[in-house]
């Protein structure tokens, strides 16, 4: 599924670039007269990437918000709707979509999520980087369920040398920052993400083995990113 969606995104980007090239070339030879720089053309730099971004497993809320903002600005610039009204509606729409995302973010997550309901904040070993960088390297059996916060900073969490035998949980927040998690080869990693103008990437998603324990990464990405590799 992940590879298929990536192929779709690459196909869409390819078609967009080919389309621009063809139109530009035909315009140059006066074969057609399509104005690529129409009034409000710059909104496409918001609309197109956000639309293609919908073909990802996470980050859909942020992309939907981006599309609504882009379309609203385009319609306002074109005079279809009142621009001032469109701008006023952007903020409440953003809050509604974020609220819906928070309510439904646990839907569709596998059975391993049931175990984390027993965890409390006190059960999580916390690492926080605020306007700074934090690098944590754990060895042998040192891994505990963790809470990683990167706020205008970065957290590098390396547990690849740990001998993990049970399911685990990592709560990661990247707010104008980034969290990188390096997991051992003998675990599965499942990422569920709430992403607003940010995103998560699980490079181990295709390496699932039902005999291995699973680490669930619960990610919040706000103008930031969480990467598992």
pLDDT in tens, 68-119: 888 988 998 888 888 888 778 877 877 777 776 666 555 544 444 454 445 5
With a cut of 80, say whether residue 128 has pLDDT above it. Answer: yes
**Structural domain spans, the chain:** 2-104, 113-228
What pTM, to 2 d.p., does this model score? Answer: 0.58
pLDDT in tens, 188-218: 998 888 777 778 888 887 777 888 898 999 8
- Indicate the burial class of 157 (C-beta count within 10 angstroms; 0-12, 13-18, 19 or more): buried
- What is the band of 124 on the pLDDT scale with cuts at 50, 70, 90? confident
Question: Whose structure tokens read 């993990």?
Answer: 164
User: What pLDDT does residue 101 have?
Assistant: 64
Pairing mode, strands 133-140 and 214-222: unpaired
140: left (phi over 0), alpha (psi -120 to 50) or beta: left
> Rounded to an integer, what distance in angstroms lies between the CA atom of residue 64 and that of residue 29?
37
User: What pLDDT does residue 203 have?
Assistant: 86
**Beta-ladder partners of 56:** none
User: What pLDDT does residue 148 have?
Assistant: 93
Supply the DSSP symbol for 177.
Answer: S
pLDDT in tens, 162-177: 888 888 899 999 999 9
- What is the band of 58 on the pLDDT scale with cuts at 50, 70, 90? low
Q: Which of 37-46, 81-90, 141-150 has the highest mean pLDDT?
A: 37-46
> Which range has the worst mean pLDDT, 3-12, 36-45, 76-85, 171-180?
3-12
The pLDDT mean for the chain works out to 82
With a cut of 50, say whether residue 132 has pLDDT above it. Answer: yes
Supply the DSSP symbol for 120.
Answer: -
């Amino acid at each position: 599924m992940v590879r298929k969606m990536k192929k779709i995104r690459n196909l869409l980007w390819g078609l967009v670039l080919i389309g621009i090239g063809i139109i530009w070339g035909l315009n140059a030879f006066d074969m057609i007269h399509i104005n690529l720089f129409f009034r409000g053309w710059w909104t496409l730099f918001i609309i197109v990437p956000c639309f293609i971004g919908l073909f990802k497993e996470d980050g859909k809320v942020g992309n939907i918000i981006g599309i609504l903002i882009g379309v609203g600005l385009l319609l306002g610039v074109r005079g279809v709707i009142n621009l001032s009204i469109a701008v006023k509606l952007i903020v409440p729409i953003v809050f509604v979509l974020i609220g819906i995302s928070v309510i439904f973010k646990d839907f569709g997550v596998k059975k391993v999520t049931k175990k984390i309901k027993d965890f409390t904040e006190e059960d999580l070993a916390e690492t926080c980087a605020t306007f700074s960088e934090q690098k944590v390297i754990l060895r042998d059996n040192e891994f505990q369920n963790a809470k990683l916060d990167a706020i205008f900073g970065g957290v590098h969490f390396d547990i690849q040398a740990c001998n993990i035998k049970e399911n685990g949980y990592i709560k990661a927040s990247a707010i104008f920052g980034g969290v990188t998690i390096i997991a051992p080869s003998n675990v599965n990693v499942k990422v569920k993400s709430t992403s607003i103008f940010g995103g998560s990437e699980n490079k181990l998603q295709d390496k699932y083995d039902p005999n291995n324990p699973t680490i669930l990464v619960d990610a919040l990405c706000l103008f930031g990113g969480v990467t598992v590799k």
